[in-house]
A and B are shown apart, each in its own frame.
Chain A
């Protein structure tokens, strides 16, 4: 199995790479369209701001590459949000794989960003049921509401999508690469998907 990790202007690619090293996965960090398209699996990581990242993806035509992917592709954190149709973060049109709109956590009783360990609920689909109630690490100020593609929820003020799937597109709002043993389990669930 060959994994492509999409290289673009968002930080945190290093920690994803280290997690894949620990899992002994054969991977390449790349922005080369053919390498991405020919990989068995693709990871679209990210920490950063939506509009500048989308601009970067459009300018480099990586947006079209991502939309064209047919193999299992995992969006992480900002990567998950950019797979949605629109983000309230600087009013940004995103890739539109998921129809959903990314919203900002409402100010009020909760601290923003949502930062730290929160438990997964209503785990289903591609995630191992043993992950129910396991804690994973989140850092984000925007969220995707629960929708028909949601396969795990977490709750911060109200429930939101912690993980989703639509066809070959998989997505997690948290950082599996920073989520101790639960995170490793989640990455394994993804890598076990048929190519």
Chain B
């Protein structure tokens, strides 16, 4: 049976993880390669590495890092952050990325999705959508959630699918950082609307939140960052818990 996926997300700047990550058994928690291996050993099903570098120089470091990650990691990983042109993608694939995640560039030029899926295949392309509820409408934001757009979550997600996206990574900005649970309502609707997998992001605080995102929200995968990084929820114990609650999970 296909299992639900647990995906830690790592923010990278200039080749280093940025959030204050503390694990006693890691010598250098700022090293994304070591941290990736650690999460893989804990049972993470995939990893996402998000490049939040500001400068071109830092971005070059990222491609080198992707190569190091691929060399050491035996689970799938997605890289994203700042991918805006076709020429950004080849080096990441060549470096060993399993998938890439695009966001603002797809909103700006939706045909970019078609181009990428034609060149690299649907399975390689994740479209990340950040949205927030405004006047009862889920509105899509870009540029790290700073710019509102004309696009609405559901129609945009559907369009991404028809243009060839292999997965949708949906982040509810209303829930992100609150640790009060995932946005299950829009997830239910996304699941009904789409025939491609949906990754839920934003709001994870407790193990119960993951149970809800799978049972109520019907998500195919759940992504979280700080609760894993700060050790508030351990991946191993989370997966045990989900299995005890009859969620299909890889343990």
On A, residues with C-beta under 8 Å from B are: 11-12, 14-15, 18-19, 21-22, 47-49, 107, 111-119, 135, 137-141, 155-156, 175, 177-181, 183-184
Contacts and interface: CB of A to CB of B under 8 A. Distances in A.
B195 A114 contact: no
B196 interface: yes
Contact of B250 (A21, A117, A177, A183): A117
The winner among B2, B120, B167, B197 for most chain A CB atoms within 10 A is: B2
A22 B72 CA distance: 8
B36 interface: no
The secondary structure that dominates the A interface is mixed
A78 to B, nearest CB: 9
Nearest to B119: A11
A116 B221 contact: yes
Nearest to B198: A111
Given A117-B3, A118-B1, A180-B40, A11 B124 contact: yes
B105 interface: no
9 contacts: A11-B121, A18-B71, A116-B3, A116-B220, A135-B3, A139-B123, A180-B74, A180-B75, A181-B74
B74 A179 contact: yes
Contact of B195 (A21, A107, A177, A179): A107
Contacts of A12: 98
B70 interface: yes
The secondary structure that dominates the B interface is loop
Interface in B181-206: 194-197
B1 A155 contact: yes
A14 B70 contact: yes
A46 to B, nearest CB: 10
Given A111-B220, A118-B1, 11 more contacts: A11-B93, A14-B70, A15-B96, A112-B196, A113-B197, A115-B123, A116-B221, A140-B123, A175-B76, A179-B74, A180-B40
Interface in B88-111: 93-96, 98
B32 interface: no
Contacts of B120: 11
B70 A115 contact: no
Contact of B95 (A14, A19, A183): A14
B114 interface: no
Contact of B2 (A21, A49, A118, A183): A118
Contacts of B70: 14-15, 18
Contact of B71 (A21, A141, A175, A181): A21
Contacts of A112: 195-196
A135 B250 contact: yes
The winner among A112, A116, A140, A184 for most chain B CB atoms within 10 A is: A116
B229 interface: no
Given A19-B74, A178-B75, A117 B5 contact: yes
Given A22-B74, A180-B40, A180-B75, A111 B166 contact: no
B34 interface: no
A141 B117 CA distance: 14
A107 B161 CA distance: 14
Contacts of B45: 116-117
B121 A184 contact: no
A69 B196 CA distance: 37
B1 A47 contact: no
B122 interface: yes
Contacts of A22: 74
Interface in B31-46: 40, 45
